[in-house]
Amino acid sequence: MTLSSNDRLYWLQTMERIAGPVLKALSERQLKATMPVAVKRDETLLSRHGEPDRLPYMNLEALGRTLAGLASWLESGPRDGEEGRLRERFADMARTAIDAGTDPASPDACNFSVGLQPLVDAAFLAHAVLRAPIELGEKLEPRVRRQLVASLKATRTRKPAACNWLLFSAMIETALRQLGEPDWDRMRIDYALKQHQQWYKGDGVYGDGPDFHWDYYNSFVIQPMMLDIVEAVSGEESDWASLAEPLRNRAVRFAEVQERLISPEGTFPPIGRSIVYRFGAFQHLAQMALRRDLPFGVEPAQVRGALSAVIRRTMEQPGTFDANGWLTIGLCGHQPDLGEVYISTGSLYLCCTVFLPLGLQANDPFWMGEADWTSKKAWSGVNLPADKSIYV
């Protein structure tokens, strides 16, 4: 087997191009001053001062979502060579960015307690801390760690809606537990996990609340957060531990479906809300690759091939970035009408979650060899086993 170095290099270059401006600006406390305020143009979104009302949330969106995607690479990526130096630089910027976002005196201080949106993006930041306990936890200066804890606790005044938002509260409490806070709230975790078991619809898919939605929220939020929460806290309660196996079985099935959704050309169905998170739609498949827990018969190399095709198909479209290197609203280029009322520039950085497999070493089977993904095989006439649903 040979290392597919071009793919890993391309992923690293793409990650740096997307995440670099966010972390550099935050580390210099210049994010609010430099990141554009792009929203879907709608007069109902404008405050009385003529500014989009997403402005109070954008810097926490950009910080939390970017780090949620980079965390596994920051934690487990190389320490040597050119990539190791890049990882070390980004890890330093990430910790400085957390300082900038949680320091009340910072011009880039994030809003953790006004409005409902802070609960969402504090949870993505918490997920990053859970994924990188050393680089984004233990290595924080004590002052920054205290700031982070206080900021996460400030979200407790926000009431989550009865949908995937319950997992945001649960993720924040899980991260507080990891950070050593004795007053982490078991009830928020317990309620979120039990409600989602009631919302399971079958064949590897959960409802977003009691209803089913054709969208990618099983990947954006629901399954990645549930897997990591249960893995972190399963030792605390026997009923939480008992969820691990059914969650894993459902997650494997959903990863199987996600891999099949990627066309031979690297496109995927533009279904549902938040489609402008681009290849963040495949966070779940990326996480299952990172966990080395892919479905039987699905080779790691074929998942790399499928995800690489999606990344290339998306990134090569003109208009994906503005003139200063910030992401624009769109799925394939600049398509502002695809954005919902809650979408702004900061929101778009959830696409970084596709980069989770960079936490695997360069000699991992994920990065080795070549293999076509399922739809590419099927549409080239390869004889394949029939797809099967699960009943758990």
pLDDT digits (tens, 9 = 90+) for 15-61: 999 999 999 999 999 999 999 988 765 544 444 334 457 888 999 99
Q: Six-digit token pair at 130?
A: 């859970």
Assigned CATH topology for domain 5-378? Glycosyltransferase (1.50.10)
Residue burial 157-188, b: 16+ Cβ < 10 Å; e: rest: ebebeebbbbbbbbbbbbbbbbbeeeebbeeb
Domain range list for the chain: 5-378
What is the pLDDT, as a whole number, of residue 48? 38
Tally Cβ neighbours within 10 Å of residue 204.
Answer: 23
Please report the sign of the dihedral spanned by the C-alpha atoms of residue 270, residue 271, residue 276, residue 279. Answer: negative
Instruction: Count how many residues are written for the chain.
Output: 392
Side-chain-facing half-sphere of 341: CA atoms under 13 Å: 6
CA atoms of 322 and 340, how far apart (whole Å): 19
Q: Six-digit token pair at 122?
A: 């504090």
pLDDT reading at 339 higher than 70: yes
Exposed / middle / buried, residue 231 (Cβ in 10 Å: 0-12, 13-18, 19+): middle
Residues 257-313: pLDDT tens digits?
999 999 999 999 999 999 999 999 999 999 999 999 999 999 999 999 999 999 999
Tally Cβ neighbours within 10 Å of residue 115.
Answer: 12
Residues 65-104: pLDDT tens digits?
999 999 999 999 999 999 999 999 999 999 999 999 999 9
C-beta of residue 367 within 8 angstroms of C-beta of residue 4:
yes
The mean pLDDT value for 231-246 works out to 97
Residues 378-388: pLDDT tens digits?
999 999 999 99
CA atoms of 314 and 309, how far apart (whole Å): 8
pLDDT reading at 114 higher than 80: yes
